[in-house]
Structure 1
Amino acid sequence: MRYVKYVFVTVVLLAGFVFAFDPTTYVSAGVGEPDTLDIHQAYDTVSGEIIYNVYESLIAYKGSSLTEFEPRLSTQVPTVKNGLIKDGGKTYVFPIRKGVKFHNGNPLTPEDVEYSFERGLLYDPTGGPMWMLWNAIFAVNSLNEMVEKYVGKPASEVFKDGKPLPEYKDKLVEMYQKVIDPAIEVDGDNVVFKLARPYGPFLTIMAHTVGWSAVLDKETSIKMGLWDGKPDTWWNYRNIAKEKSPLYATAIGTGPYKLVEWDRTNRKVVLEANKDYWRGEPKLKKVIITTVSEWGTRKLMLEKGDADDIAIVLEYLDQIRGNKDIQIIENIPSMSVVVVGFSWSVSPNSKYIGSGKWDGNGLPPDFFSDVNARKAVSYIINYDAVIRDVLKGYGIRIPSALPNGLLGFDPTLPLYKFNLTEARKALQQAWGGKALSVGIKFTVAYNTGNAMRQRIAEMIKTYLEMIAPGKIKVEVASLNWPSYLDAMRKAELPMPIFNWLADFPDPDNFIFTFYHSAGTYAPRQGDNFKKFVSTPRKELGGKSLDELIDMARNSSDPDERAKLYVQIQKFAIDNYISVPIYQPVGVRAQRTWVKGWYPNPMRPGNDYFELYKQQ
């Protein structure tokens, strides 16, 4: 999840203010803030942690496993053996659990499940997570792609000011009735999903309760102003702005916790136990999730027992070692990567590129569309120093944006090297050497409290300015998490620092995200990037990078997929599409009285239902 995902370690971002041991309240300090609570737009781990504990999906990962599942709102996990996977893997049947209630008292019904998935698909916000379900169910990447496929015209020509032109309205109604609605159907007490083709990772996508697979209360959603469920109105609810969503700051699920408040002024979220939860009342009665940007304050809270766990800074981990009241859990497996990306077409409205011109006081919006400009950046990161001095060894080098542990990872692929002489040579070849002769000025941003992103941003500034003193000027800016996300989504950051946590444990979730023209990061990398990866290349046998990625994701042969992913990574490395920095090794710090925590790299934070406190 997506979504950024977190800071750079697998810790929970929680906080609160208690002054004595209280077994019923869980508090902690983190560095991030929720972006939105709309389950179909949230695509970051801070928002995802709240959604994970307030809502539920049909199935869930079993403990720490990435391959085993257990029932949630479905009474069974579909398998071929139990007859709930049919038609060669194209039909999945989920029997919906009876007796479950939403937090407002409404009973869960199969119609709620159908509505939830259809609403998400039809909303499909830009930069959101719904691409996964569009691809899994319909073999396309977005609502807009489906519109173009069915209507025969791009969405930009079908809609004007958000409304369909009269000549296309009937066709859009028909698309819903004949394509979308039949794919997710209620059959008695079951909800049946009919896929366009067999898709192996489908259950891993359904098991991730971060938003896209969660279930809404249909009746309440319609009353709040979400899609009314009618086939001739859905476009009125398509891709609405984040803050205008009725679910932006509201959450009503079936999960173990209820949302009490999201105090955006004081940067605090409060949850309370759902006493009527169908799996039993949670042991923790209250959870406080708050943002504390300063490491020293978080550290003090943990030491005093005012926080149960905190977001740590690995540089300063030794400061809390040896405290008998603090437990440090190390070497936690992760399924994430930290990558320096590029906007090949920065928004002209960006305030992070100065004048935006070749005048020594700005950065042209297309600066990073030159391969040598990107190549120069690959040489100014001191990768070994980052892992040794900043991460304290809790990270590993990776050659591409694909983490170790997934199909297609190849440790023999070349790693980028730190070399300032080569960086200067690359800049001399970029744009005729204008960066050195005329000069450039731009800003690298990071989210406040994320020490790792801050160190990388500072390293970029230091070494670029060292290459051409007085000619290259780099500013470093700290943004709160929602502002950082918004700036990335609008392609305003010339050099965004990505931290991608897997949505599902398959290489497609990383390769498609980082390198495809329809991937989550494509809008952030700009139109020049999209054109580059969608254009056929001689070195790719006359195919585009997009085509190779599509071939890999659609193949059912693991060996074929692995070979394609290696070819894709080689092309990405040779063209410096982005600069992979490291794959994190997780570390968690918590009070010793915290019990029940377990690792799972798919989870966006704590599973509070399993946690309890005991001295």
Structure 2
Amino acid sequence: MKKVFIVLMVTLMGVFAFTQVKNPDMIFDATLSEPDTLDPHHAYDTSSGEVIFNVYDNLVAYDGESMSKFVPMLSTVVPTVENGYLRDGGTTYVFPIREGVKFHNGNDLTPEDVEYTFERALLYNPPGGPVWMYLDPMFGVFSIRTLVEDYVGASWDTIFDSEMNPTSPEYEEALVNFYNDVIDPAVEVQGNEVLVHLARPFAPFLNVIASGSSWGSILDKEYSVELGIWDGNAEGWWKYHGWTKEQSPYFDHAMGTGPYKLVEWDHAQQRVTLERFDDYWKGPAPIRRVIIQGIDEWSTRRAMLETGDADIAYVPAQYLDVVLSMDGLTVIPGTPEVSITSLGFNWQVDPESPYIGSGQLDGNGIPPDFFADHNVRLGFAYAFDYDGMINEVLNGLGEKVPTALPTGFLGFDEDLPTYELDLQKAENYFKRAYQGRLWQTGFNMTILYNTGNDSRRVSAEILRDNLAKINPRFQVEVRGVQWPTYLDERENMMLPVYIIGWVADFPDPHNFIFTYYHSEGDYGGFYGDNFAEFASLPRPEFGGKSLNKMIEDAALESDPAKREQMYIDIQEFVFDYALVLPLYQPQGLRVHRSWLKGWINNPIWPGDYYYNYTKVE
């Protein structure tokens, strides 16, 4: 469906209006949250990604607003079959590395930095991080642990003790050989070129590594080793694997070649300060300083927009009319987004979670495996007001979708069924759950949202209120926490449900279907062991294949028509079992001061690219 996006400009008027640009050499971005981490191989959220996007460079970059065209960045060439830099039937990418590029500390960029970056990513591979996007095309697996187990011929827990020490000299030798035989040959330096070898042709590979993808950021090897990141040796590489985000020295450090360098990350103020890098290889940015600050309260962000203290601000869709009435703003509603906002279920919550009450089906809590019951999930599915959320809360800036796959992607089918608000149907499902016990006892649980995200708060409140209408014994508390805390609680399996968005890493259905519905996906991996078992069972709907296998096979299918049908079959299955509730596909609302020039809307970017901006009256 073709969309028309109208740019609504409100210009400065009146004798009391601003007569000149405020803070002409600084950009203040009033956003929602501070980053989760600045480690490019751990960061997997847009708050972190926006900072990394401006501090680091990648091998290639998107060409403006396009999600399918690329331009050279740290590589002087975008590899194609035609120019000879994509070889071996699409399995070898050759990147000539740009000379004369400096890191922020003055070190020269070298091909060895690029090789080190890829290899460090593969070996580090933190749980829930983005590195699966390298492992999948390069090795056909989603975790370095699988690769190690296949090579060594033993399970991970057999190879290592609880302190990540090899349990025998034989295993230690095998681990060293694993690096030499498997990891090192996958990325090679030949003169000034870096060759990256894939296990199979993978069309979105350039999307995976393009600028805006934090995991594609190129590190300074020398600085990384000095900081305490992997030392680059085969011996002991496992000591640098799977750290928590705080264990990584790159948690709050950054050393890139990008247009801005990190000055400070003030956690107490949720504020990141960036300074222009004057030796940037493309020339210095027009604006000297950038401040990105997480500000929870909409009223504060609104006041800063009005006074001109903020150049850019996050504006929830429900406040569209407010910003349209303000002077001096550029307001652009309905910008396209390749994103889904969903509610996910944890099938196996940590029993120590503070969000499940008593941990029992006794009216004062929920059991840890509460959402393993499909009747419970279906009850929740029909207790949410999807149309009301889009039309009344989002001011129409959203679309209803059948599953966690955005419109326009291969496999999207508007004829697939969608969940509707139907309290009677929800009641029927709840009465079937737990052989009728749930209806009699009720439940009590907590739903978290990240503070300042009013859309997610309202989503949780809608669900809370409707559940109480269905049965007064169904009690839900809605509570806000800071964004890093929210992510930590999800990763620690504490949240019974979580409302979260997913912005495409690359424009292919695999990036959504795998993420949400495969038990090793970034979201599916946090549904618990019960879900992993469910996703691994043979299914008659798939001719005896499991859900996981069907998703894997769909990604490999080369016939577009067959692949499309496979994704439709997958979506019919996940809808029937209510594995995820797709609350809406959002449309963007861009708001900035009208003196800010140079904004480009690439929906796959994690945020603003400040290098493009100027401030002009």
Q: Which band: TM-score by shorter chain?
A: over 0.9
Do residues 174 (structure 1) and 190 (structure 2) align? no
Aligned equivalents of 2:588, 2:226: Cα separation in 1: 42
Residue in 2 aligned with 1:12? Answer: none
Residue in 2 aligned with 1:212? Answer: 215
Aligned equivalents of 1:498, 1:111: Cα separation in 2: 37
CA distances 1:160-204 after superposition (whole Å, capped 9, x unpaired): 121222131111111111111101010100000111111111111
| Cα pair 2:70 2:78 within 8 Å, conserved | yes
Residue in 2 aligned with 1:574? Answer: 576
Residue in 2 aligned with 1:14? Answer: none
Residue in 1 aligned with 2:395? Answer: 392
Choose which of 589, 592, 595 in structure 2 pairs with 1:590.
Answer: 592
Do residues 230 (structure 1) and 214 (structure 2) align? no
Deviating more after overlay: 148-157 vs 481-490: 148-157
Aligned equivalents of 2:100, 2:159: Cα separation in 1: 43
CA distances 1:430-471 after superposition (whole Å, capped 9, x unpaired): 1112222122111011000001110011111111112111x2
Do residues 524 (structure 1) and 490 (structure 2) align? no
Do residues 293 (structure 1) and 299 (structure 2) align? no
Residue in 2 aligned with 1:189? Answer: 192
C-alpha displacement at 1:360, in angstroms? 1.5
| Cα pair 2:212 2:604 within 8 Å, conserved | no
| Cα pair 1:96 1:189 within 8 Å, conserved | yes
Q: Secondary structure at the match of 1:496?
A: strand
Residue in 2 aligned with 1:314? Answer: 317
Choose which of 606, 611, 614 in structure 1 pairs with 2:613.
Answer: 611
Choose which of 275, 279, 283 in structure 2 pairs with 1:280.
Answer: 283
Aligned equivalents of 1:507, 1:165: Cα separation in 2: 41
Do residues 461 (structure 1) and 464 (structure 2) align? yes
Q: Per the alignment, do residues 558 and 129 of structure 1 end up closer, same or farther by CA in structure 2, a change over 3 Å counting?
A: same
| Cα pair 1:435 1:472 within 8 Å, conserved | no
User: What is the one-letter code of the residue matched to 2:340?
Assistant: V
Residue in 2 aligned with 1:5? Answer: none
C-alpha displacement at 1:206, in angstroms? 1.3
RMSD: 1.1
TM-score (norm 1): 0.96
Aligned equivalents of 2:99, 2:559: Cα separation in 1: 39
Aligned equivalents of 1:306, 1:84: Cα separation in 2: 47
Choose which of 542, 545, 556 in structure 1 pairs with 2:544.
Answer: 542
TM-score (norm 2): 0.95
CA distances 1:362-396 after superposition (whole Å, capped 9, x unpaired): 10011110110000001111111000110000000
| Cα pair 1:593 1:614 within 8 Å, conserved | yes
Do residues 67 (structure 1) and 68 (structure 2) align? yes
Do residues 502 (structure 1) and 479 (structure 2) align? no
Gaps of at least 5 residues in structure 2 are 1-19
User: What is the one-letter code of the residue matched to 1:284?
Assistant: I
CA distances 1:520-571 after superposition (whole Å, capped 9, x unpaired): 1123211111111111112221110111111111122222211111111110
CA distances 1:417-438 after superposition (whole Å, capped 9, x unpaired): 1011111110011111222212
User: What is the one-letter code of the residue matched to 1:190?
Assistant: E
Residue in 1 aligned with 2:348? Answer: 345
Aligned equivalents of 1:163, 1:503: Cα separation in 2: 34
CA distances 1:194-220 after superposition (whole Å, capped 9, x unpaired): 111111111110114332111110011
Do residues 31 (structure 1) and 32 (structure 2) align? yes
Aligned equivalents of 1:579, 1:331: Cα separation in 2: 23
Query: Aligned ranges for residues 109-148 of structure 1 at < 5 Å?
Result: 109-148=110-149
Residue in 1 aligned with 2:7? Answer: none
CA distances 1:36-88 after superposition (whole Å, capped 9, x unpaired): 00110000000000000000100011100011000010000000011000110
Aligned equivalents of 1:311, 1:547: Cα separation in 2: 40
C-alpha displacement at 1:490, in angstroms? 1.4
User: What is the one-letter code of the residue matched to 1:572?
Assistant: V
Do residues 105 (structure 1) and 123 (structure 2) align? no
Aligned equivalents of 2:99, 2:562: Cα separation in 1: 43
Aligned equivalents of 1:325, 1:200: Cα separation in 2: 43
Aligned equivalents of 1:581, 1:537: Cα separation in 2: 27
Do residues 382 (structure 1) and 388 (structure 2) align? no
User: What is the one-letter code of the residue matched to 1:581?
Assistant: L
C-alpha displacement at 1:154, in angstroms? 2.4
| Cα pair 2:21 2:595 within 8 Å, conserved | no
Deviating more after overlay: 279-288 vs 353-362: 353-362
Residue in 2 aligned with 1:361? Answer: 364
Q: Secondary structure at the match of 2:27?
A: strand
Deviating more after overlay: 525-534 vs 248-257: 525-534
| Cα pair 1:77 1:94 within 8 Å, conserved | yes
User: What is the one-letter code of the residue matched to 2:281?
Assistant: W
| Cα pair 2:346 2:528 within 8 Å, conserved | yes
Aligned equivalents of 2:405, 2:247: Cα separation in 1: 35
C-alpha displacement at 1:156, in angstroms? 2.3
User: What is the one-letter code of the residue matched to 1:83?
Assistant: G
Find runs of 4+ consecutive structure 1 residues off by over 6 angstroms: none
Q: Secondary structure at the match of 1:347?
A: coil
| Cα pair 1:345 1:366 within 8 Å, conserved | yes
Aligned equivalents of 1:443, 1:118: Cα separation in 2: 41
| Cα pair 2:304 2:310 within 8 Å, conserved | yes
| Cα pair 2:518 2:525 within 8 Å, conserved | no
Q: Secondary structure at the match of 2:478?
A: strand
Choose which of 557, 566, 569 in structure 2 pairs with 1:564.
Answer: 566
Do residues 419 (structure 1) and 415 (structure 2) align? no
Gaps of at least 5 residues in structure 1 are 1-18
C-alpha displacement at 1:155, in angstroms? 1.5
| Cα pair 2:21 2:616 within 8 Å, conserved | no
C-alpha displacement at 1:20, in angstroms? 6.3
| Cα pair 1:261 1:271 within 8 Å, conserved | yes
Deviating more after overlay: 19-28 vs 118-127: 19-28
User: What is the one-letter code of the residue matched to 1:148?
Assistant: E
Aligned equivalents of 2:155, 2:589: Cα separation in 1: 46
Residue in 1 aligned with 2:12? Answer: none
Aligned equivalents of 1:445, 1:573: Cα separation in 2: 24
Q: Secondary structure at the match of 2:246?
A: helix
| Cα pair 2:349 2:528 within 8 Å, conserved | yes
| Cα pair 1:491 1:523 within 8 Å, conserved | no
Q: Secondary structure at the match of 2:263?
A: strand
C-alpha displacement at 1:322, in angstroms? 3.3
Aligned equivalents of 2:295, 2:302: Cα separation in 1: 10
